[in-house]
Amino acid sequence: MDTLHLRSAGTSLVMSFDSGEAEVIHWGADLGSTLPDLAILGEPVPHSAIDATVPAGLLPQASSSWRGRPALRGHRLADGVSGLDFSARLRVVTVNAEGNSAVIVQADSDAGLTVSSSLALHDGGLLELRHTVTNDGSTPYQLDELATVLPVAPDAVELLDLTGRWCRERHPQRRPIQQGTWVRTGRHGRTGHDSSLLFAAGTAGFGNRHGKVWATHLAWSGNHEQFADSIGDGRTMIGGSELLGPAEVILEPGASYTTPALFAAYSDRGLDGISEAFYSWFRSRPHHVLPAGGAGKPRPVVLNTWEAVYFDHNLSTLIELADSAAELGVERFVLDDGWFRGRRDDHAGLGDWYVDESLWPDGLTPLIDAVTSRGMEFGLWVEPEMVNLDSDIVRSHPEWIVGPSVQSYKDGGRLPLEWRNQHVIDLVNPDAWQYIFDRVDALLRENNISYLKWDQNRDQLEHGHAGRSSVHEQTLAAYRLFDELKKAHPGVEIESCSSGGARVDLGILERTDRIWASDCNDALERQTIQRWTGLVVPPELVGGHVGPTTSHTTARTHDLSFRAITALFGHFGMEWDVRGVQGAEREELKRFIALYKEHRGLIHSGRMVRADVADTSLMLHGVVADAESLKGTTAALFALVSTGTSFAEQTGRITIPGLEPDLTYRVEAIFPAPGDADHGHTFTQVRPPAWLSNGAVAGGRFLAEVGLPMPNLNPEHALVLRFTAL
Ligand code: DGJ
């Protein structure tokens, strides 16, 4: 086979094998079914350069004159002599294609290496790529890096990646593409609060709904690098690799290493097109929480106890809370940190996964029964990868703490610095892994638990097992824990939490059912956190909670409607002592919960739309249902959100993109409604736009091009707009 052409949902991937190397000719817009003779792409040879056309290899390598970051680096460990720190001369051995997937095998018999690359272009246009390198030689081979990269077209001139910290995860940063390498390194031993969920290159000024974008995501929860590598000949590669520690992966003869998957999407309609490709892939997975266009169990309304009671666990308080939650319409009650042996605060107990007999003399059953008898599911918080020094498990197994020394700290080894008073348990040690598995398994067998909130609250910095770097093995061992527990308890859902949103990636999401986007329940911060998390992760997998009126993490105060509308476009819940929510505010909360229940089918299956609004104090985002199923139903739900004050005297017309151009819609502002407690706070004008009281009727094309005049919103307020197709 000389050429491979995969096509799906407006995307083409064209590869050529003519030069003997797997060359990526094009990853971008769909090229149709007929390709010209690719020989026309033969490049001229400039002065002072290699005398040959240089391919953009699937595995860029020095042997074909790639002077950027090579995809494969490593060396042989034989007779005390290191090998050469260049890659290899990989040449195609076989190409096997079937439908929209292919496996390409390249080898270098002199170097004793084979790399097998598997590619799949999924139905929604998302490309999945991973490489496996095998040591065919007779001596050990130390692998330093195996990267998954793809070339972007020359008209990509800007980069967008995400960064953040605790309570401010996933905020965008942009820069021009210039010669050199822009690298985002994660050395947290977990994905990291600052990890770039997406690494995107695009045409000048690409936005939410305009411009061409090429974007990659590395599906890995350990150390990693993501980068854009732009070399002197004008080409740019984007992608990433697992960041391996010294001698962390040594391949014995015959052994292999497989990279994390690189997911890659192309869009000619800005970032929304990238989200569409990711959402379509998530929703096509058979184990997705709502596969097949939203069919399945609706995402239940959650009450999480953390910001309601923190460590103050007391059966009668918790039953009162469960009572109050059930009365509001809550469907899942999650008991957070504080229920296990010795855990009165965050100094002790991690690792002792037994219900604390002093607090719970009859175990968790009385609470679980109270919860389930009120028609709710019961969920439990755990943090299986961590231990406190003050725990029975560390007292009996000090050697199970991960650290730089071979000896345990009891025998003179050095303990890593503490983080929230805790350490990492060495899951690479089979006994420690088995202990943790057995404890969580027993909790699930002995109690009626439908849901685990699985936390992971520290970076893993000095990470060693038996004197060798071990983030790689630890990450795989943690994945194995999830996988085995899921296998043993197939009905149990798991939430991935990591000091809020420090473990959000497609590696963890392959084995969990939702992520906790951030510990910040401040709705203003959440607007940005959720917008950028939602770039890749669909809303049904992103937990969003209505927190207390004054945020515990920022001390900002927000009306209920702003907090609720913010949580609406995710998997909705509350994290608030709702026993104290009374009167008009309680009625408003109930109305809102009913609104979520009515519309979650749409929110969790539709197309996400984020408008490019000129006024930067406003955001407009929404979800649009599939055209087929629209007539007479809620066809779309949007939120107009004010994040600050504006220079503009009045908001004026806002255009609403993404609706079906040829359908006619009734548009209504439905929340907060005139009777709601905080309705009067939301607007600031003498006379609101005429359509606001009785709704408006207009076509999708008109709404996208002309728009509707919107009310002036007070800062940090929002309005829900419902679109019914007529
Ligand atoms: C960090 C999480 O992100 C919080 O939601 C909460 O579960 C605490 N840990 C409990 O310790």
368-396 residue pLDDT tens: 999 999 999 999 999 999 999 999 999 99
- Is residue 710 within 8 A of residue 646, CB to CB? The reply is no
**Ligand 1 nearest atom to the CA of residue 500, by list position:** 3
Phi, psi of 623 (to 5 degrees): -125, 130
Q: Of residues 108, 356, 426, 455, which has the active-site annotation? A: 455
pLDDT at residue 631 is higher than 80: no
pLDDT of 689 > 80? The answer is yes
Nearest CA to ligand 1 atom 6: 306
Q: Is 426 in the pocket of ligand 1 (CB under 6 A)?
A: no
Backbone angles phi, psi at 624, to 5 degrees: -115, 130
pLDDT > 70? residue 83: no
- 637 pLDDT above the threshold of 60: yes
Distances (CA, A) of 59 to 63, 80, 245, 704: 11, 28, 21, 43
CA distances from 46 to 43, 292, 305 (A): 9, 53, 66
The annotation places the binding site for substrate at: 166, 336-337, 420, 453-457, 497, 519
Does 82 have pLDDT greater than 60?
no
Measure Cα distances from 615 to 390, 620, 648, 649, 710 in Å.
Answer: 53, 10, 8, 12, 12
Q: What is the mean pLDDT of residues 697-706?
A: 98
**Contact at 8 Å (CB) between 537 and 505?**
no
Average pLDDT value for residue range 197-206? 98
Q: How far is the CA of 522 from the centre of ligand 1 (A)?
A: 15
- 75 CA from centroid of ligand 1 (Å): 43
| pLDDT value for 684 | 85
pTM above 0.95, yes or no: yes
Cα gap 593→583, rounded to integer Å = 16
pLDDT greater than 80 at residue 627: no
What residues have CB less than 8 Å from 493, skipping those under 6 apart? 289, 379, 450, 451, 452, 513, 514
Token digits of residue 405 = 């020394």
CATH superfamily of 608-725: Golgi alpha-mannosidase II (2.60.40.1180)
What distances in angstroms separate CA 597 from CA 298, 329, 600, 604, one per listed residue?
Answer: 8, 9, 5, 11
Tokens of 497: 């939490």
The two beta strands, 23-29 and 72-78, are: unpaired
CB atoms within 10 A of CB 327: 13
Strands (E), 526-663: 542-546, 571-574, 607-610, 618-624, 634-642, 653-654
**Which of 537, 552, 661, 557 is closest to 608 using CA atoms?**
537
Q: What is the pLDDT of residues 126-178, one digit of tens each?
A: 999 999 999 999 999 999 999 999 999 999 999 999 999 999 999 999 999 99
Q: Would you say residue 81 has pLDDT above 60?
A: no
CB 543 within 8 A of CB 570: yes
Task: Decide: 177 in ligand 1 pocket, CB within 6 A.
Answer: no
Q: Which residue do the tokens 């065919």 mark?
A: 136
Of 519, 559, 676, 678, the catalytic one is 519
For ligand 1, atom 10, which residue shows the shortest CA distance?
337
C-beta contacts of 595-601 below 8 A and 24+ residues apart: 595/568, 595/670, 595/671, 595/720, 596/301, 596/568, 596/572, 597/298, 597/301, 597/329, 598/634, 599/568, 599/634, 599/637, 600/298, 600/299, 600/572, 601/294, 601/298
What fold does the segment set 3-284 form as a domain? Beta-galactosidase; Chain A, domain 5 (2.70.98)
And the tokens for 518?
């951030």
Closest CA to 391 of 361, 435, 360: 435
- Contact call for residues 188 and 460 (beta carbons, < 8 A): yes
Mind listing the pLDDT tens digit for each residue in 654-676?
999 999 999 999 999 999 988 88
- From ligand 1's centre to the CA of 353, what distance in Å? 16
> In DSSP terms, which residues pair with 258 in a beta bridge?
132
- The encoded tokens of residue 392 equal 């029975």
pLDDT at 352: 98
State whether the beta carbon of 565 lies less than 6 angstroms from ligand 1: no
* Range 302-387+429-461+480-601 classified under CATH 3.40.50.2000: no
Structure-model confidence comparison of residues 77 and 208, the more confident one: 208
pLDDT at 78: 74
Express each pLDDT in 451-501 by its tens digit.
999 999 999 999 999 889 999 999 999 999 999 999 999 999 999 999 999
CA 301–ligand 1 middle distance (angstroms) = 19
For the stretch 20-64, pLDDT in tens is: 999 999 999 999 999 999 999 988 888 998 888 788 899 999 888
Q: What is the predicted pLDDT for the residue at 304?
A: 98
* Same topology between domain 3-284 and domain 608-725: no
Which ranges in 50-200 belong to alpha helices (H)?
Answer: none
Q: Ligand 1 centre from 455 Cα, in Å?
A: 7
Compute the distance between CA of residue 85 and CA of residue 74 in angstroms, rounded to an integer: 6
How far is the centre of ligand 1, averaged over its atoms, from the C-alpha of 305 (Å)?
A: 10
Alpha-carbon span 49 to 45, nearest angstrom: 7
What percent of the chain stands above pLDDT 70? 98
> How far, in Å, CA of 680 to CA of 321, rounded?
30
State how beta strands 262-267 and 302-304 pair. unpaired
Mean pLDDT across the chain: 95
**Separation of 337 CA from ligand 1 center, angstroms?**
7
The yes-or-no answer on residue 110 being catalytic is no
- Beta-sheet pairing, 377-382 with 451-454: parallel
Q: Is the CB of 127 under 6 A from ligand 1?
A: no
Whether ligand 1 lies within 6 angstroms of the CB of 381 is answered as yes
Which of 169, 346, 381 has the most ligand 1 atoms within 8 A of CB, as the residue to mutate? 381
Is 455 known to be catalytic? yes
Distance separating alpha carbons of residues 464 and 462, to the nearest angstrom? 6
For residue 190, the model assigns a pLDDT of 98
Output the six-digit token pair for 477. 């061992």
Residue 97: alpha-carbon gap to chain centroid: 30
Q: Residue 683: what pLDDT?
A: 87
As beta bridge partners, residue 332 has: 302, 377
Contact in structure between 333 and 378 (CB atoms under 8 Å): yes
Q: Closest Cα partner for 466 from 403, 396, 386, 393?
A: 403
Indicate if ligand 1 lies below 6 Å from the C-beta of 499: yes
Q: Is the CB of 306 under 6 A from ligand 1?
A: yes
The annotation places the binding site at 166, 336-337, 420, 453-457, 497, 519
* pLDDT at residue number 520: 98
β-pairing, 262-267 with 127-135?
A: antiparallel
Question: How does DSSP assign 342-382, residue by residue?
Answer: T-SSTTB-TT--SB-TTT-TTTTHHHHHHHHHTT-EEEEEE
Q: Are 551 and 521 in contact (CB under 8 A)?
A: yes
Strand-by-strand arrangement of the 607-610 sheet: 607-610, 618-624, 634-642, 717-725, 664-671, 696-699
Judged by average pLDDT, the poorest of 203-207, 226-230, 594-598, 691-695 is: 691-695
Q: What share of the chain is helix, strand, coil (3-state, %, to 5)?
A: 25, 30, 45
Share of the chain above pLDDT 90, in %: 88
**Domain residue ranges of the chain, discontinuous segments joined by +:** 3-284, 302-387+429-461+480-601, 608-725
Q: pLDDT tens, 409-455?
A: 999 999 999 999 999 999 999 999 999 999 999 999 999 999 999 99
User: Rounded to an integer, what distance in angstroms lies between the CA atom of residue 208 and that of residue 303?
Assistant: 33
- pLDDT score, position 65: 84
Question: What is the DSSP track for 261-276?
Answer: PEEEEEESSHHHHHHH
Q: What is the pLDDT of residue 79?
A: 59
The stretch 530-547 carries a mean pLDDT of 98
CA terminus-to-terminus distance, the chain: 52
Which residues are paired to 264 by β-bridges?
127, 216
Coil vs helix vs strand at 174: strand
Q: What is the band of 87 on the pLDDT scale with cuts at 50, 70, 90? A: low
- Which residue puts its alpha carbon closest to atom 8 of ligand 1? 337
The tokens for 543 are 């937990």
Check pocket membership of 497 for ligand 1, CB cut-off 6 A: yes
Q: DSSP alpha helices (H): ranges in 504-559?
A: 506-509, 523-533
Q: Does residue 336 have its Cβ closer than 6 Å to ligand 1?
A: yes
Between these two residues, 725 and 684, which has the higher pLDDT value? 725
User: What are the φ and ψ backbone dihedral angles of 724, each rounded to 5 degrees?
Assistant: -110, 130
Within 534-621, residue ranges assigned H as helices are 560-568, 583-603
Atom from ligand 1 closest to the CA of residue 498: 3
Tell me if the bond preceding 672 is cis, omega within 30° of 0. Answer: yes
Residue 103 Cα distances to 8, 61, 112, 637, angstroms: 18, 19, 20, 42
Q: How many CB atoms lie within 10 A of CB 326?
A: 18
Closest CA to 581 of 544, 545, 546, 555: 546
- CA 681 to chain centroid: 34
CB 469 within 8 A of CB 249: no
The dihedral sign for the CA sequence 37, 40, 41, 44: positive
